[in-house]
Amino acid sequence: MTQSDNTFRRNAPVKKGAESIADMITRNEADRKAAKKKANQKEAAAKSATPSKAPGNTKKKTSKKKTAKQKSNSYTDASRGIRLQKAMAEAGVASRRDCEALIEQGRVMVNGEKVTTLPAWVDPEKDRIEVFGEPINTPKLKATKGRKFYVMLNKPKGVISTNDDPEGRRRVIDLVNIPGNPRLFPVGRLDADSTGLILLTNDGEMANKLTHPRYEIIKQYQVKIKGRLTEEDAARMKKGLFLANQSATSWNAPKSKKASALSVKILGVERDRFRGDRTTIGISLKEGQNREIRRLLAQLGYNVRKLKRVGIGPLRLKGVANGSFRLLTAHEISALKKATHTKK
């Protein structure tokens, strides 16, 4: 049978007067589409009859969510001005690193809102910034606004080199008295048992550069130890030893960190058959860890009797009695700015 005969038989009626198979298929397809259309119309009618949520309530929730989002991110817009820690440092609160710590500790309020995350940007001319509940634009600061102070202090033993001490101990800032009472902060730190040169300033940019490892500002110390330091141990200090990483703030931080002295020089030996020998050493560091010199020498079996800082970069401790201070000379300030690449 030919293809045309087969096609003819498919389209032929089953019985006389009955629909052909092709007509039945066409009709069934039309019925299916009509039923689907009717069902869609019924579903649409049911939806329109169901009462919807009040648009006012929806808007209110959206508004609340939006407000909360704006509140948590109110100081993350870089177009606001400068970074919060920079504004604080320029106002003489502390160095930038210390300002960052104060922010993360929740000690800083901006326009009555506590800011604890970084980065954050502010406009010092418009925003009210408070540290420990005290605004940074106090009359004390206004009296010396625009003037930078650089103070050399010969720190005595037992005085701490931080402006914030919950225990109420004597601080280096308590030993400085300048007309107008500018808010100064110490550059770097010396532990309570150490003595010597501490620089205090309200120049946040210079303070940041003096303490940042990138600028490799050398600190010089005179150390007196019990016993005699051997040349082998001096070489080991210069080569470097691993110390416990006391600055680690996360679980995956390295447990130990290598520390080394830039130079170690034996300055003299005192012989005493009753108290034992004492060795005076000159030590220079580029990047200091917490109590690094004491810990290096302790690892080699030496007990530090005295530790005095005598230099920071081009600055030398001179012309200042123990517990006294003086303003840096113009020549000293210029030398510090040159060493830190700070604009005049």
pLDDT at residue 48, rounded to an integer: 67
Span 154-192, pLDDT tens digits: 999 999 998 888 888 899 999 998 766 788 999 988 999
Task: Calculate mean pLDDT across residues 273-297.
Answer: 89
Within a domain: residue 151? no
Active site residues: 191
pLDDT exceeds cutoff 80 at 70: no
Asked if the peptide bond before residue 119 counts as cis, ω within 30 degrees of 0, the response is yes
Question: Encoding tokens for residue 165?
Answer: 């001490």
Within a domain: residue 186? no
pLDDT exceeds cutoff 70 at 56: no
Span 295-321, pLDDT tens digits: 999 999 999 999 999 999 999 998 899
**Angle in degrees, CA 46, 48, 52, rounded to 5:** 115
pLDDT at residue 64, rounded to an integer: 46
Q: Which residue, 87, 116, 137, sits at the end of a domain?
A: 137
| Under 8 Å between Cβ of 235 and 203 | no
The Cα 305–Cα 324 span in angstroms is 22
Scan for tokens 């400085």, then name that residue. Answer: 176
Residue predicted with more confidence, 339 or 24: 339
Task: Calculate mean pLDDT across residues 77-84.
Answer: 88
**CATH number for the domain harbouring residue 105:** 3.10.290.10
- Domain tally, the chain: 2
Task: Give the structural domain span for 102.
Answer: 72-137
pLDDT at residue 147, rounded to an integer: 80
pLDDT exceeds cutoff 50 at 1: no
Can you tell me whether residue 55 is helix, strand or coil? helix
Task: Calculate mean pLDDT across residues 206-234.
Answer: 92
CA 330 to chain centre: 32
pLDDT exceeds cutoff 80 at 67: no
Q: Which residue, 137, 158, 188, sits at the end of a domain?
A: 137
pLDDT at residue 93, rounded to an integer: 77
| Under 8 Å between Cβ of 292 and 188 | no
Within a domain: residue 16? no
Give the residue from 204, 163, 194 showing the smallest Cα distance to 310. 194
**CATH number for the domain harbouring residue 308:** 3.30.70.1560
pLDDT at residue 101, rounded to an integer: 86
Within a domain: residue 167? no
Within a domain: residue 97? yes
Within a domain: residue 102? yes
CA 15 to chain centre: 92
